[in-house]
Amino acid sequence: MHITLGKWTQDKLDSLLHQSAEIKDTGSRIDFLSVHFLNTDYKESTLTGSADIPEVLAVNLSGVDCFTFIDYIESMRLSGSFSEFIENLKKVRYQNGNIAFKNRNHFFTDWSEFNSGFIDDVTAQTGGRKTKTIAKILNKKADGTYFLNGIKPFQREIKYIPSEVIDDAVMDKIKTGDYAGIYSDMQGLDVSHVGIIIKNGNAVNLRHASSEKGKVIEQDFREYIIDKTGIIILRPK
Would the pLDDT of 123 be above 90?
yes
Mean predicted confidence (pLDDT) in 196-212:
96
Provide the pLDDT for residue 202.
87
Are 131 and 226 found together in one domain? Answer: yes
- Domain boundary (114, 149, 166) is at 114
Would the pLDDT of 210 be above 90?
yes
CATH at 31: 1.10.3670.10
Mean predicted confidence (pLDDT) in 86-90:
98
C-beta atoms surrounding 174 within 10 Å:
20
Provide the pLDDT for residue 161.
98
Number of domains composing the chain: 2
Are 203 and 231 found together in one domain? Answer: yes
Are 135 and 232 found together in one domain? Answer: yes
Write out pLDDT tens, residues 169-184: 999 999 999 999 999 9
Are 172 and 229 found together in one domain? Answer: yes
Provide the pLDDT for residue 99.
97
Q: What is the largest CA-CA distance in the chain?
A: 50
Alpha helix (H) ranges present in the chain?
10-21, 26-35, 66-77, 82-93, 110-114, 123-127, 168-173, 221-225
- Cα–Cα distance, 49 to 56 (Å, whole number): 7
Selected residue with higher pLDDT from 201 and 123 = 123
Instruction: Domain of residue 37: give its range.
Output: 2-114
C-beta atoms surrounding 7 within 10 Å:
11
Are 98 and 72 found together in one domain? Answer: yes
Collect contacts of 71-74 with beta carbons under 8 A, ≥24 apart. 72/37, 73/30, 73/33, 73/34, 73/37, 73/196, 74/30, 74/111, 74/118, 74/119, 74/179, 74/236
Would the pLDDT of 164 be above 90?
yes
- Domain boundary (57, 79, 114) is at 114
Would the pLDDT of 145 be above 90?
yes
State the DSSP code for 40. P
Mean predicted confidence (pLDDT) in 10-36:
97
| Percent of the chain's residues with pLDDT above 90 | 98
Are 7 and 108 found together in one domain? Answer: yes
Write out pLDDT tens, residues 30-86: 999 999 999 999 999 999 999 999 999 999 999 999 999 999 999 999 999 999 999
Mean pLDDT, the chain, rounded, equals 96
C-beta atoms surrounding 205 within 10 Å:
20
